[in-house]
Amino acid sequence: MPVDLISANHAAALAATLAGRANRTARGFCSGVYPITPSTECMEYLCGQQIEKGKVVRADSEHNAMGICIGASASGARSFTTTCSNGLAYMVENCVAAAGYRLPIVMSVANRTMGPPWNIWTDHGDSLLMRDLGWLQLYSADNQEVFDTVLCAFKLAEDPRVMMPALTCMDGFILSHTTAQVEIPSQEQVDRFLPPTKIPHRLDKVAHTLGQIETPHQSVAHRLQHHQAMLQARQVYAEIQDSFAEIFGRRPADPLVGYRTEDAETLIVSMGTLGVTAERVVDQLREQGQAVGSVRVRMFRPMPDEELRRFFSGTKRIAVLDRDVSIGFGGVLWGEVRGFAEPATIVQNYMVGVAGGDVRPEHMLNLLAELEQRQESGAPQIVEVV
Amino acid sequence: MTNEPALNGMALTERDRSEPLLRAGNSNCGGCGMSSLLQMLRRAAADRELKLVVPACCAAVTGGIFPESAFSIPTIMSTFASAASVATGVASVAQLNGEPTRVICLAGDGGTYDIGMGTLSAAAERNEDILYICYDNEIYGNTGGQRSSATPAGAWTTSTPLGKQKTKKDILGIMAAHRIPYAASVSLAHIDDTLRKLQFALDARGFRFLHVLSPCPTGWKSEPAMGIELVRLAVRSGLFPVFEVFDGERYLINVEPEFSGEALMMYLSLQRRFRDSGVTEENLRPNIERYWNYLRLMSGRIVPARRDI
Ligand SMILES: Cc1ncc(C[n+]2csc(CCOP(=O)(O)OP(=O)(O)O)c2C)c(N)n1
Ligand code: SF4
Ligand SMILES: [Mg+2]
């Protein structure tokens, strides 16, 4: 497979382009886009592509970029957009709507701190804002993973058992602006992986209304369907990994990426590129004879609870590293995963690299040293890295 | 009165009854102008294939409760500010697939003049292939009747208990400034003119905008049966000019009013929303004159050509 040197932003856009072209025999591709640092290069790349039966609308705002994706997807087209930070916050109302209509729109987010005060550096607080809105959420740790994840996200979102929008996240700048080798499949391979988009409830000939008024019991029924479909996504993703491996010759990463976790007494749990640093730290500590492992959460929605429980079982200590702060609570990831640990396990939350702090191995080593001293879990800690 | 046939042209035809765009049993208030508009739209659209985008507004309620549909065409209910962007996506995909579908936004004044203004402006600037119809009841009807920037001066609303001070936004001026292919105001009291405009706007390509003064007995505190008559009074008095603008340049006045003071007085007195603010015919007259001077200038018609009310 040909290898190209591209940034993760371009990798996401290229994957979306190939996916868009793959729908040329069906209802095509249509996307609304709007720039914001550090997602801008993704939309710029998309604007430079010739997509057969495809259109990229240069919108006037993120809210309307998603509005355009909604109209396109509701008309049966494949649809993709990209944003982050304040752009994502501005878009949220229509993200709720996209999920409510159950439209398989894929969005790439180059995670960035929310402002003001303005800060363009990476923080997961923006995409975590979307936690409860009925979108699938996948976090990547390198450029190849970004590329593969966007392709998988289309297949996952469009699967009739799932049928909902998907968020694919990458750390702003750390990935979005880093150029690395990415294996690029042929259009023919992508065509095989992504058959034509079928949205059964799209606006077609029959008079029906999308997004109309519901009574409470109807909305509950729809929430339940949505919830169950989201839970199904774990099984569907496993099938997608198989079909991806068969067509492209490499297997996309698991929902949870464990590293040297067998016999580990201490686990580092994190998302995004923090997980890559964590793996280097694990190597160092293993050399010193310490039984440390890492679990990188790739699939945040749906939360892979069973696998988490399996990774956590028998662990003495868990450091949950959050690149986000839920002010007045602690780390969002910590809040999500701590319940899967056994009662005797010490689960300590460190919010580290928040608002773009550069987390290096020595920082993680310090945190693990602190964790080793603990007799019990303490309050979540916001850790400054300098 | 040649353009106003029996029963004001609103008598139901057999087709209106058997294949209405707005189905029987919908929840609109009696005398709602939006209902009359949809009836006219049905007649104008004939066999054209339509898709409807409706933002939050009364018409989003009109659509009915899941899984029923009061609209007999495929419809998507968008968020409040997003009608024109959702319609952009729908129209783009129709275009990519070579479909003749006409995509229509049906939005209230709130979704048009206020929260959806940026969206509307952007879709107009891109000249998307959309027919955007604003049914203007001059109020946020859905939320119980607060002011919008389409509410006229002197009108009581729940958020302007002493009557609104500011005058109404000039929406057609704004749309004309976008140089879109077609923008027009529509009087439901002038049926031939309404049908002609709807048909023209349905067939034209690019961004088309129709502004419809839409009587709202609930918000205007008026008799449901008086709605069309109120529109006629608004036209006769000069308060609601009926005109069209092609490519943002060529202005055509469609109905020459008689600027009747009596009509204006009746327009005010037949709606309780104007009762307590102290607004009078004399208060409104200067603004009407100013606007008509502007219209005469733009249309190049210094002397009224035809008195046809
Ligand atoms: C973002 C957002 N803000 C507020 C509302 C509440 N809301 C729904 S409809 C509406 C007013 C609609 O007014 P208009 O567009 O004039 O339509 P009408 O109800 O008069 O038909 C408001 C304020 C909403 N749905 N969404
Ligand atoms: S409140 Fe007014 S606009 Fe809304 S349905 Fe009733 S009459 Fe029509
Ligand atoms: Mg209104």
Residue B59 has pLDDT above 80, yes or no: yes
CB contact under 8 A, A68 and B88: yes
Q: DSSP secondary structure string, A1-67?
A: --EEEEEHHHHHHHHHHHHHHTTTTTT-EEEEE---TTTHHHHHHHHT---TTEEEEE-SSHHHHHH
Average of pLDDT values for B283-292? Answer: 95
Cα dist from B34 to A26, B60, B107, B228, whole Å: 36, 12, 10, 11
Q: Which of B76, B89, B91 sits opposite A211 (nearest CB)?
A: B76
The minimum CA-CA distance between A51 and chain B, rounded to whole Å, is 11
B178 C-alpha vs ligand 1 centroid, how far in Å?
A: 25
The minimum CA-CA distance between B185 and chain A, rounded to whole Å, is 26
Query: Which residue among B27, B32, B133, B188 is best mutated to probe the pocket of ligand 2, counting the most ligand atoms within 8 A of its Cβ?
Result: B32
Q: Which of A60, A71, A205 sits opposite B87 (nearest CB)?
A: A71
- Name the residue at shortest CA distance from atom 8 of ligand 1: B56
| Backbone φ, ψ for residue B208 (5° rounding) | -120, 140
Cα nearest neighbour of A92 on chain B: B79
Residue B142 has pLDDT above 90, yes or no: yes
Q: In this predicted structure, what is the pLDDT of residue A288?
A: 97
B147 C-alpha vs ligand 2 centroid, how far in Å?
A: 14
Selection from A105, A140, A137 nearest residue A19 by Cα: A105
Q: In this predicted structure, what is the pLDDT of residue B17?
A: 81
Ramachandran category for residue B9: left, alpha or beta (phi over 0 → left; psi -120 to 50 → alpha): left
Average of pLDDT values for B221-242? Answer: 98
Mean pLDDT of chain B: 93
A45 C-alpha vs ligand 3 centroid, how far in Å?
A: 41
Q: In this predicted structure, what is the pLDDT of residue B290?
A: 95
Cα nearest neighbour of A208 on chain B: B74
Q: Residue A42 and residue A107: Cα distance in Å, rounded?
A: 11
Q: Which of B53, B65, B71 sits opposite A213 (nearest CB)?
A: B65
Average of pLDDT values for B147-156? Answer: 97
Q: In this predicted structure, what is the pLDDT of residue B6?
A: 45
Q: What band does B302 get if pLDDT is binned at 50, 70 and 90?
A: low
- Name the residue at shortest CA distance from atom 1 of ligand 2: B141
Q: In this predicted structure, what is the pLDDT of residue B16?
A: 77
Q: Kindly list the residues from chain B whose CB atom is less than 8 angstroms away from the CB atom of residue A203.
A: 51, 74-76, 90
| Backbone φ, ψ for residue B72 (5° rounding) | -90, 20
Residue B4 has pLDDT above 60, yes or no: no
Query: Which residue among B58, B112, B146 is best mutated to probe the pocket of ligand 2, counting the most ligand atoms within 8 A of its Cβ?
Result: B58
Token pair in block for residue B298 = 């733009």
Selection from A319, A278, A315, A318 nearest residue A296 by Cα: A278
- Spell out the domain ranges in chain A: 3-248, 256-383
Token pair in block for residue A330 = 């602690």
Query: Which residue among B78, B80, B115, B137 is best mutated to probe the pocket of ligand 1, counting the most ligand atoms within 8 A of its Cβ?
Result: B80
Residue A180 near residue A47 (C-beta atoms within 8 A): no
Tell which of B21, B77, B85, B106 to mutate to test the A interface (max A CBs under 10 Å). Answer: B85
Q: What band does B2 get if pLDDT is binned at 50, 70 and 90?
A: very low
- Name the residue at shortest CA distance from atom 26 of ligand 1: B80
The minimum CA-CA distance between A212 and chain B, rounded to whole Å, is 6
The minimum CA-CA distance between A60 and chain B, rounded to whole Å, is 6
State the ipTM, two decimals.
0.97
Instruction: For chain A, list the strands marked E by DSSP.
Output: 3-7, 29-33, 54-58, 80-83, 106-111, 136-139, 166-171, 179-183, 209-210, 256-259, 266-270, 292-297, 299-301, 317-322, 346-352, 381-383
Token pair in block for residue A135 = 């979108």
Q: Residue B73 and residue B85: Cα distance in Å, rounded?
A: 19
Average of pLDDT values for B97-105? Answer: 98
39-68 in chain B: CB under 8 A from chain A: 51, 53, 60-61, 63-67
- Name the residue at shortest CA distance from atom 5 of ligand 1: B80
Q: Kindly list the residues from chain B whose CB atom is less than 8 angstroms away from the CB atom of residue A55.
A: 92, 95-96
Instruction: For chain B, list the strands marked E by DSSP.
Output: 50-54, 75-77, 102-108, 131-136, 182-186, 208-213, 243-246, 250-253
In the CATH hierarchy, which fold is given to the domain comprising A3-248? Rossmann fold (3.40.50)
The minimum CA-CA distance between A39 and chain B, rounded to whole Å, is 21
Provide the sign of the torsion angle of the four alpha carbons A155, A159, A161, A167, taken in this order.
Answer: positive
Percent of chain B with pLDDT over 70: 94
Tell me whether domains A3-248 and A256-383 share a fold: yes
Residue B1 has pLDDT above 50, yes or no: no
Q: What band does B303 get if pLDDT is binned at 50, 70 and 90?
A: low
Mean pLDDT, each 10-residue run in order, chain A (386 residues) = 96 98 98 98 98 98 98 98 98 98 98 98 98 98 98 98 98 98 98 98 96 97 98 98 98 98 97 98 98 98 98 98 98 98 98 98 98 97 95
Q: In this predicted structure, what is the pLDDT of residue B13?
A: 74
CATH 3.30.960.10 corresponds to the domain A256-383: no
Hey, what's the torsion of the CAs at A83, A165, A69, A168, to 10 degrees? 30
Domains and CATH numbers, chain B: 6-299 (3.40.50.970)
Average of pLDDT values for B168-196? Answer: 97
